[in-house]
């Protein structure tokens, strides 16, 4: 007897405005017991938390994707910290680095990533890390910011087995 969990979905995406309930019902019919809805900016993080409040089998991850790092302000962390108090929030993210698309400048992505790790350590939650074409930088920042204290998941990972072993050693 096991539990099937969708560990990363975006029910908070506008495309699901009309059929969230139907999507959740289909997932349950297919044997998915729990759904983790991941925020990718402040609005979708708050939406993820609201969905987790509304549906018993939905949990939330809150944070700002590296694409939107340029929009992160000090008050972003204040709002995320407050929202993280909800028992339905299970991690901080989706954070990390995306050096493939570079929708935000790399220095701002790194700054945001560090801020999210610090927040996760402060609130005692794991992190969901987006790593696209930034493997060495992700590992370096995870080490420097002591992310091993909270661990988490590396999402969008395309690194080598060696990098994967380093991440595993860091609790990911």
CB 40 within 8 A of CB 65: yes
State the pLDDT at residue 118.
Answer: 98
Sign of the torsion angle spanned by Cα atoms 44, 46, 50, 55? positive
pTM score, two decimals? 0.95
Which residue in 61, 56, 58, 57 sits closest to 39, CA to CA? Answer: 61
Give the integer Cα–Cα distance in Å for 61 and 8.
Answer: 9
Give the integer Cα–Cα distance in Å for 100 and 97.
Answer: 9
Give the integer Cα–Cα distance in Å for 106 and 127.
Answer: 20
State the pLDDT at residue 140.
Answer: 98
State the pLDDT at residue 1.
Answer: 79
State the pLDDT at residue 88.
Answer: 97
SS3 148: helix
CB 14 within 8 A of CB 28: no
CA 74 vs CA 38, 82, 98, 154, 155: distances in Å:
21, 13, 21, 25, 25
State the pLDDT at residue 81.
Answer: 98
Q: Residue 60 has which token pair?
A: 């939330």
Contacts of 24 (CB under 8 A, 6+ apart): 11, 35, 55, 57, 58
Per-residue pLDDT of the chain (172 residues; tens, 9 = 90+): 789 999 999 999 999 989 999 999 999 999 999 999 999 999 999 999 999 999 999 999 999 999 999 999 999 999 999 999 999 999 999 999 999 999 999 999 999 999 999 999 999 999 999 999 999 999 999 999 999 999 999 999 989 999 999 999 999 9
Q: Between 106-123 and 74-83, two packed helices, what is the crossing angle to 10 degrees?
A: 30
Q: Residue 14 has which token pair?
A: 């506008």
């Amino acid at each position: 007897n096991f539990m099937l969990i969708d560990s990363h979905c975006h029910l908070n995406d506008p495309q699901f405005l009309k059929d969230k309930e139907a999507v959740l019902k289909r997932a349950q019919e297919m044997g998915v017991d729990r759904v983790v809805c991941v925020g990718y900016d402040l609005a979708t993080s708050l939406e993820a938390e609201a969905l987790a409040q509304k549906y018993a089998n939905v949990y939330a991850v809150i944070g700002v994707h590296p694409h939107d790092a340029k929009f992160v302000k000090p008050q972003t962390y204040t709002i995320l910290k407050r929202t993280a108090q909800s028992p339905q929030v299970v991690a901080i993210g989706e954070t990390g680095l995306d050096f493939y698309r570079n929708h935000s400048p790399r220095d701002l992505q790194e700054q945001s990533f560090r801020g999210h790790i610090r927040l996760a350590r402060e609130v005692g939650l794991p992190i969901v890390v987006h790593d696209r074409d930034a493997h060495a930088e992700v590992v370096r920042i995870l080490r420097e910011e002591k992310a091993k204290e909270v661990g988490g998941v590396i999402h969008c990972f395309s690194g080598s087995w060696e990098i994967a072993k380093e991440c595993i050693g860091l609790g990911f």
